[in-house]
Amino acid sequence: MAALSDLDVRALMELQYNFAFWLPDPYAEASARLGVGEDELLKALSGLRERGVLKRVGFYVNYRSQGAEAALVALSVDDPGPVAEAVANDDLVTHAYVRDDPDYSVWLVVKRGSMDEIKRFAEEISRRVGARDYIVLSSIRTYKLSVKFDLERGISRSGPYATIRPDPPRPESLGVTAGLLRSLSRLPLSPMPYREVAAKHGLPEGALVSLVLRLVEAGVLADPGAAIDGESVGFRFNGMVVMEPSGSPEELCRAAAGFPYSTHVVLRGSSRPSWRYPCYAMIHAVRRETVEEAAEELSRLAGARSYRVIFSLGNLKPGVTR
């Protein structure tokens, strides 16, 4: 686990939860709030990035704005090694975890241009790795996505821009290129970061700042600020909380999205009618017991009929910056 100085902790908390993305120089605002010079803050952030603690500072790009589909593909295998090899160079498999579910041991997050493509992927990888069984859990709606880690409380806590719009416009309809979105997802660690991005893409700085505000409002961009590697700072336990509704699955997911310690909340369809859990949420913590306690509170407050917590046992794609 990485050792963090007092400034490291305060800087990561500030940039996770209070990132002033609407200003031309958000780092200057953060440094003023922290009571340090901007150069000192940027030096600390650069050091955290070099050590693998800070993945990036920027925005989440809503995959729905790209016309993509996503799903969980869970595989029943004894040896996860062949799965890791199969997905190692597939950038559209964004997560791959070994989990302690009794039926499905490897869980993948897969993105493709259509659900038919995802189903074909599931069939092909199942055959390739010799899986006994598999299930495809399609993403119907993402109610929330904000993977942030409260370094003071030891539990994940979502940020203020966690809501994910289900119907964002295509970026090109707003005059935005894929290259510009990539630059906004990973802002430079330098003073006036938008100026640097604007120069790279041939835009006036003020116009870019205004465009960023439009993209956030339209739902193309979300969850601004620092993205950190939770495991590197002691968040070793992540629990996938799957919930069975007592009434409407949509109402269950909406209620779960209001729980501050959930980082993802997704309504899912299933390729297997026997799968009873359409609502999915993630909770991360430094202690397993903290995840279990939060999951119990989440399911009770959201009104779930039943729930399970499926813990991660290993990351098959470590070091991936999403």
Give per-residue pLDDT as tens, 231-269: 999 999 999 999 999 999 999 999 999 999 999 999 999
Domains of the chain: 1-51 (1.10.10), 65-157+231-315 (3.30.70.3460)
In angstroms, rounded to a whole number, what is the distance separating the alpha carbons of residues 35 and 10? 10
Residue written as tokens 């813990």? 311
pLDDT at 49 over 70: yes
Helix (H, G, I), strand (E, B) or coil at 306: strand
- The predicted model gives 182-191 an average pLDDT of 98
In angstroms, rounded to a whole number, what is the distance separating the alpha carbons of residues 6 and 16? 16
pLDDT at 153 over 70: yes
Q: pLDDT-based confidence at 318, cuts 50/70/90? A: confident
Give per-residue pLDDT as tens, 192-224: 999 999 999 999 999 999 999 999 999 999 999
Residue 282 phi, psi dihedral angles, 5° rounding: -120, 140
Give per-residue pLDDT as tens, 270-287: 999 999 999 999 999 999
Mean pLDDT of the chain: 96
pLDDT at residue 319, rounded to an integer: 62
In angstroms, rounded to a whole number, what is the distance separating the alpha carbons of residues 244 and 101? 16
pLDDT at 35 over 80: yes
Q: Quote the strand ranges of the chain, DSSP E.
A: 54-61, 69-76, 93-99, 106-112, 133-145, 149-150, 155-156, 221-228, 237-245, 264-270, 279-285, 304-315
In angstroms, rounded to a whole number, what is the distance separating the alpha carbons of residues 153 and 171? 37
Q: pLDDT-based confidence at 78, cuts 50/70/90? A: very high
pLDDT at residue 221, rounded to an integer: 98
pLDDT at residue 321, rounded to an integer: 60
Enumerate helices (H) and strands (E) in the chain, giving the number of each. 10, 12
